[in-house]
A = this chain, B = another copy of it.
Amino acid sequence: MFPGKMDIEKAPRRGRPPSGGREQILTATLELLRERGVARTTTKDIAARAGVSEGSIFYHFGDRSGVLLAVFQQVHQPLTALREAGLGDLDLAAALDRFIAALETFLGDSLIVFYAAHADIDLREPVHKYLSDNQMGPHKGVELLGGYLAAAQQRGEVRAGIDTRAAAFMILGTCQMRMSQMTLIGNDRGLPTRKQVVENFMAMLAP
């Protein structure tokens, strides 16, 4: 189904080397998703933009949903990086800043794909499956940041009465709101800056 994935091997190459068509299809699809939305992104459009034939799309991804799901997966890569890097022993402000920066970069790319998944029933199922198979979802971010905040609370950097999990959830929500307004409305008028978000959250957490 995904021949391109098979290329990770050490044996000497055989046959014609891949010409990058697969990646071009993915890139073209993401662009079109941004520009016109899923509902108006056809395999024909994708082929034209990627500079390949329509047949090539079906060869690589099986069907239209296959392309869309592949885009969805590709866009999730950066998140794994953050998850693995962790927040370590950064101080509160630095940890918040790093987490928010990484999350917002990710959301800036992926929100449009999330929305797409809910605008097309053919995508909902596979996307849900992918998320649960890989144990992904907002709760992962809540765990990561919430865990850090709980530790900070024990160090006395966060007030005792605060539910660190719920607080982490609020941060996630704030990021989502910021980025969804950026993607949806296309500007940041009226939005608190990232710096303001960090500072204000600090003020609300501080003992």
Q: CB of A39 within 8 A of chain B?
A: yes
Across chains A and B, which 10 residue pairs bring their CB atoms closest together, nearest first? Answer: A119-B119, A173-B177, A173-B173, A36-B121, A39-B120, A39-B39, A139-B190, A173-B174, A204-B204, A166-B200
> Which positions in A face B, CB cutoff 8 Å?
35-40, 112, 114-124, 128, 131, 137-139, 142, 159, 161-163, 165-167, 169-170, 172-178, 180-181, 183-185, 189-192, 196-197, 199-201, 203-206
Name the residue on B nearest A169 (C-beta).
Answer: B192
Once A162-B203, A173-B178 are accepted as A-B contacts, the answer to whether A115 and B121 lie under 8 Å apart by CB is no
Q: How far is the CB of A49 from chain B (nearest CB, A)?
A: 15
Q: Within the complex, which residue of B37, B122, B203 is in contact with A120, where a contact is CB–CB below 8 Å? A: B37
Task: State whether B36 touches A163 (Cβ < 8 A).
Answer: no
Task: State whether B121 touches A120 (Cβ < 8 A).
Answer: no
Task: State whether A176 touches B180 (Cβ < 8 A).
Answer: yes
Task: State whether B203 touches A159 (Cβ < 8 A).
Answer: yes
